[in-house]
Amino acid sequence: NAGVMQNPRHLVRRRGQEARLRCSPMKGHSHVYWYRQLPEEGLKFMVYLQKENIIDESGMPKERFSAEFPKEGPSILRIQQVVRGDSAAYFCASSPGTGGQPYEQYFGPGTRLTVT
């Protein structure tokens, strides 16, 4: 039973380039969350998605950041025109959303983005 998968694990981008981060939820999970963790800090919520729907993006920066969770394929977090301040670990989590444990969130291994 594969857990939450993220790729790439490490991503290096120059300032101004685009970063694309992918997340495949656990089997049977239909809810995906993205969190950002700056060095030596806690995790901050960015966006919550279900298939083909953005439920809550209140934690997303207004510009340059977007997320999607298409009907087929992984969820994608896209950062356009990256700046050095975007350097962080980006974690995806998934939850079943319904059933006995709807709130439990399981995290992927993260993508460590470095902007040079």
Partner 1 sequence: GENVEQHPSTLSVQEGDSAVIKCTYSDSASNYFPWYKQELGKRPQLIIDIRSNVGEKKDQRIAVTLNKTAKHFSLHITETQPEDSAVYFCAAVSSGSARQLTFGSGTQLTVLP
User: Which range binds partner 1 by CB under 8 A, 11-19, 53-61, 63-71, 80-88?
Assistant: 53-61
Is 45 a binding residue for partner 1 by CB under 8 A? The answer is: yes
User: Which range binds partner 1 by CB under 8 A, 20-28, 34-42, 70-78, 80-88?
Assistant: 34-42
Report H helices in 1-116: none
Is 110 a binding residue for partner 1 by CB under 8 A? The answer is: yes
Is 43 a binding residue for partner 1 by CB under 8 A? The answer is: yes
**Cα separations (Å) of 75 from 30, 44, 46, 94?**
11, 18, 13, 11
Count of other CB atoms within 10 angstroms of residue 72: 6
Residues 6+ apart with CB under 8 A from 89: 36, 37, 110, 111, 112, 113
Is 95 a binding residue for partner 1 by CB under 8 A? The answer is: yes
Q: Which residues bind partner 1 (CB under 8 A)?
A: 31, 33, 35, 41-45, 48, 55-56, 59, 91, 93, 95, 102-110
